[in-house]
Structure 1
């Protein structure tokens, strides 16, 4: 059976992508602190707090045993809602680790598996990378770094052929409770979610197109949703 791996599957957007992949016939494995609400098999969820080095190392060992993976969706992310005058080093490092570094480590683990010879990789982020949105500095920097990192994958000679898609969704203000737990980042900074069915339909349409598309070796695309 074809397998897919997704981070952020318990989030506002990720849960819809998770359900979509299952309907497409994929054997879906989720990664995160909590499983998606529709996950019926705990063995297909890798519990991992991305801020904990020991948990990430355990996750990488588990992923190196996972064969038959054809799709990776990187959907996890947090935002500190900070600008050049308000961000701190501690928060910057945490956001960068969760949004970028650990995702690159996940790719590293899955591309080291010999039985994963062809991967379609999807990065979900916000159009703050192409539009000016106040207080999005830290998030934008971390997601830009991830996009550049996965783009660079297409130049790697590691015997794994890849297609890379970066889906930039409209800024929907998804509440991210974890960042509110951090010092100097009160929950009042979290906006209400403006997620709607129109955004979801456009996103799923792009997923369908990419999954149905014939193999396009080592290609990279940024798609505004």
Structure 2
């Protein structure tokens, strides 16, 4: 670590998830696995935070130290060309409307033989009410399925228009994998496919959860949810 390291929200080596705010863009440069928005640097992939001296890795010409995210395992960084119908993606809910949730797609999740990885740039996606879960779409309440800031796994079901991809979380293995309690600010854990609970307060909140590993699903829901192939 550089001797005069800037103050970050997370220490180097700490696991981070897509959308985690790392620090101010005036103090650190954005490296691989991160992006800048609104004057702050955010993680765009799941991995461990790395802080490099200015120019140490050649990723930035800035005089500030560079923050980057080292992917877990041997995953590669994906390009936008890998996104196609059927691809599983990782994203963060940006906003909710009555009939749709809008998603910032930041990574290809690595299902079905694709090692996945962070995208070089984020993309927009939309989950329509009828694509949230299996069943009658009129019964789905969007704000009981997702809230802004939630991290979700979703499948691309259409290329949509020029602005965003069509996404679905209808499969059991798809849905919210990371969410923060509105009452405590603590990260919640899934109870079942439609509820999460704050481990500090015990308060439950409604979500369309990715199937917890305890139920035999293909994902491990939690802060560093990593999709795996079914055996």
TM-score of the pair, normalised by structure 2? 0.26
Greater strand fraction, Structure 1 or Structure 2: 2
Higher helix proportion: 1
